[in-house]
Chains A and B, each alone.
Chain A
Amino acid sequence: MIHFRQVNKHYGNFHVLKDINLSIHQGEVVVIIGPSGSGKSTLVRCINRLETITSGELIVDSVKVNDKNTDINNLRRNIGMVFQHFNLYPHKTVLQNITLAPMKVLGVSEKEAKETAMYYLEKVGIPDKANAYPAELSGGQQQRVAIARGLAMKPKIMLFDEPTSALDPETIGEVLDVMKKLAKEGMTMVVVTHEMGFAREVADRIVFMDQGRILEEAPPEQFFANPREERARLFLSRILNH
């Protein structure tokens, strides 16, 4: 579903992603961890071309992401993205946030878009907030709306970049629960997170990054019990002791 082959990315002189090779298959849940600045966000954002790669090959859903002939909007409709700071549209209601892309990109009718939106709002547990504005919701509720907004496009892949990092501790759980449910239903998910409990429970694979490289890739049982890399060990001891 997602294939990185020898991918490199530079910001000017700064080498952010170094020789990335990574394949993610349909239905897989891959959790990316690593210290701050290691390139996790950049890696995820390359998948839907919010960032462009400098060299190598990146294929998503059988499409070369960086090919000139690729219709990027067509590819993006199949990839949902959830951001750390939710990025809901503040001037639109919850319902309008969710129905905008289905109506404008997929061309579905307003009635159908609303029905779909309500279906996913039920699913994330806040159908009663349909007519509220984002500012009237808690962080956890906003992030669940953002997830519903992504799902309403019926994507094949969902990307999450630290979806719980901006949340109060008591609302983190409600967002993780929604993500767990999604994983169980077979959604292909790429998740950057510091929630090790979630990673352990839900991930099919952990990808550990440091300084722009993938240092280790392993199933969670193996990774958490016995990380191969010294730096991964150090990272885990630091994050688990906090």
Chain B
Amino acid sequence: MLNYSILIEHWDMYMQGFTNTLKSSFLALISSLALGTIIAVFRIAPVRPLNWLGTAYVEFIRNIPLILIVFVFFVGLPTIGIRLDSFTAGTLGLTVYTAAFIAEVIRAGILAVPKGQMEAGRSSGLTYLQTMRYIILPQAIKMVIPPLGNQFINLVKNSSVLGVIAGLDLMYFGDLISSETFVTFDVYIFVAMFYLILTVPLSLGVGFLERRLARSR
């Protein structure tokens, strides 16, 4: 039987951690979607230097551990005079990291849109970026909603990296409560439940969206 008194006695801590995990995940989700989309377009645009930049970003970022990227923001930036609080550093690291994966997913989506769509847009006088924005990306993103959803779920789980730099997230408070109470198993089960509160609806939401879009097509 789980020891619910731990949950009740430390409810405020759990809630604070939950709120921060939610906040960090939400901010990183929005920004990594934007950044990832930009990088995907960089990789595909008919401009060589941008292709290189995009490829370099993806290959570099996705091949190093998330924790190191977070450290760059948390302990690296202060050495050049930029000091960020741990929540901000963690969320930034999370964004930069996730964007590399999202860029790959969206790039695959863009490549799956028939070539004629770009031709139709361009031949009507729209610029490359306008065609991307109004014609290609909406179709591309629809097609990659399932893998995009996976990335978002990973993102929520990866936000636990904040705990390592005292980012006041669920994991951080879990560690704190555990060291206060000398209980490990029950404390972390509750932490896991809070993560599930975020990830399960996300997962179901993605499934729902997928089915709805399949019908509208």
A10 to B142, CA, bound (A): 37
- For the complex, is A129 an interface residue (Cβ under 8 Å from B)? no
A77 to B124, CA, bound (A): 6
How many A residues have CB within 8 A of the partner chain?
Answer: 26
Number of A-B pairs whose CB atoms are under 8 Å? Answer: 63
Q: In the complex, which residues of chain B have a beta carbon less than 8 angstroms from the beta carbon of A77?
A: 124-125
In this complex, the interface size class of chain B, counting residues with CB under 8 Å from chain A, is 10 to 19
A105 and B124 within 8 A (CB): yes
Q: A91-B142, A100-B134, A104-B134 are in contact. Are A85 and B116 (CB under 8 A)?
A: yes
A89 and B117 within 8 A (CB): yes
Give, as a whole number of angstroms, the nearest-CB distance from A236 to chain B.
30
- For the complex, is A83 an interface residue (Cβ under 8 Å from B)? yes
CB-contact partner of B116 in A74, A76, A87, A100, under 8 A = A87
Residues 133-155 of B, flagged 1 when their CB comes within 8 A of A and 0 if not, give: 01100110010000000000000
CB-contact partner of A91 in B116, B123, B138, under 8 A = B138
A88 to B138, CA, bound (A): 14
A149 and B124 within 8 A (CB): yes
Q: Which residue of A lies closest to B134 (CB)?
A: A100
A50 to B123, CA, bound (A): 7
- For the complex, is A95 an interface residue (Cβ under 8 Å from B)? no
A83 and B116 within 8 A (CB): yes
Q: In the complex, which residues of chain A have a beta carbon less than 8 angstroms from the beta carbon of B216?
A: 133
A89 to B119, CA, bound (A): 11
- For the complex, is B212 an interface residue (Cβ under 8 Å from A)? no
- For the complex, is A90 an interface residue (Cβ under 8 Å from B)? yes
Q: Which residue of B lies closest to A48 (CB)?
A: B123
Q: In the complex, which residues of chain B have a beta carbon less than 8 angstroms from the beta carbon of A83?
A: 116, 119-120
Q: Beyond A101-B124, A101-B125, list 5 extra A-B contacts (CB 8 Å).
A: A81-B120, A87-B117, A88-B120, A100-B124, A100-B126
Chain A contacts to B: CB under 8 angstroms: 48, 50, 73-74, 76-77, 79-81, 83, 85, 87-91, 100-101, 104-106, 133, 135, 149-150, 153
